[in-house]
Amino acid sequence: GAVVSQHPSWVICKSGTSVKIECRSLDFQATTMFWYRQFPKQSLMLMATSNEGSKATYEQGVEKDKFLINHASLTLSTLTVTSAHPEDSSFYICSARVLAGGTKQSHEQFFGPGTRLTVL
Amino acid sequence: QKEVEQDPGPLSVPEGAIVSLNCTYSNSAFQYFMWYRQYSRKGPELLMYTYSSGNKEDGRFTAQVDKSSKYISLFIRDSQPSDSATYLCAMSVWEKLTFGTGTRLTIIP
């Protein structure tokens, strides 16, 4: 249980294009989903927190107009990198927190496999 | 000063050895503590989750939390080559996780 999927697993795009990354919780409902980015040999940096049906909360320094987050349902969140540039190339990882009251601890976060974005 | 400090390694130990991984933290409000394992180019996998001081054991893994010293540890017994990965500690007050930088571990056959 507690499987989170991401699609696509890797994407290469031209500078100026937009890229959408999907994050799905496959076998549980997630109250909250998180989006992280990770640069090579560095730790995960939280970009934003999204709750189903409400606007995402962005971390300081993260441009909300550039990284659009939509949390359409309790099992799906999307991150759109708009007008991507080479400096946006990174490993993007989502995680999902379990809906409280289930069999899993409500504070545990389960991570997707990540999406590697390369902007040329 | 970072909220969570973790030695990045790399750490290499022979197969079968006991591995000790550690993190220190400065925010006394942290109450949930986790260890994740991350293989190269993959997402982190939750290994251990604790919310109180003391030890928690799961198979070959033992997580230890000392809130008075603001120090957490992960011990791996009978280490295997498949344990070679980056190990990330993470902690939170509520839902927002703060990660350590990760320790790169290699188990030598």
User: What confidence tens digit (pLDDT) does each residue in A19-49 have?
Assistant: 999 999 998 888 889 999 998 878 899 999 9
Calculate the alpha carbon distances from A115 to A10, A44, A63, A78, B2 in Å: 5, 13, 19, 12, 27
Name the more confident of A98 and B90.
B90
Interface contact A43-B99, CB threshold 8 A: yes
Which DSSP string corresponds to B4-42? EEE----EEEETT--EEEEEEE--TT--EEEEEEE-TTS
C-beta of residue B84 within 8 angstroms of C-beta of residue B106? yes
Interface contact B102-A43, CB threshold 8 A: yes
Residue B35 has pLDDT above 80, yes or no: yes
Q: What is the rounded average pLDDT of the residues B66-85?
A: 96
C-beta of residue B43 within 8 angstroms of C-beta of residue A113? yes
Alpha carbons B54 and A5: distance in angstroms, whole number: 33
Hey, is the C-beta of B36 within 8 angstroms of any chain A C-beta? yes
Residues of B in contact with A116 (CB under 8 A): 41
Calculate the alpha carbon distances from B2 to A56, B41, B44 in Å: 25, 25, 21
H or E segment and range at residue A26: none
- Amino acid, single-letter form, for residue A108: E
User: How many cross-chain Cβ pairs, A to B, lie less than 8 Å apart?
Assistant: 54
Closest residue to B101, CB basis, from A4, A43, A95: A43
Tokens of B73: 């540890």
Mean pLDDT in each 10-residue stretch from start to end of chain A (120 residues)?
A: 90 97 91 90 89 89 94 92 96 85 63 95
Alpha carbons A27 and B60: distance in angstroms, whole number: 27
Residue of A nearest to B45 (CA): A111
Residues of B in contact with A46 (CB under 8 A): 96-97
Cβ count near A57 (within 10 Å): 16
Alpha carbons B34 and B25: distance in angstroms, whole number: 13
Alpha carbons A38 and A95: distance in angstroms, whole number: 13
DSSP 3-state assignment of A41? coil
- Report which DSSP code applies to A43: -
Residue of B nearest to A109 (CA): B46
Q: How high is the pLDDT of residue A1?
A: 64
Q: How high is the pLDDT of residue B63?
A: 96
Tokens of A10: 């890797």
C-beta of residue B63 within 8 angstroms of C-beta of residue B6? no
Residues of A in contact with B46 (CB under 8 A): 2, 108-111
Q: What is the rounded average pLDDT of the residues B69-89?
A: 96
Alpha carbons A53 and A75: distance in angstroms, whole number: 12
DSSP 3-state assignment of A74? coil
Residues of A in contact with B96 (CB under 8 A): 34, 46, 49
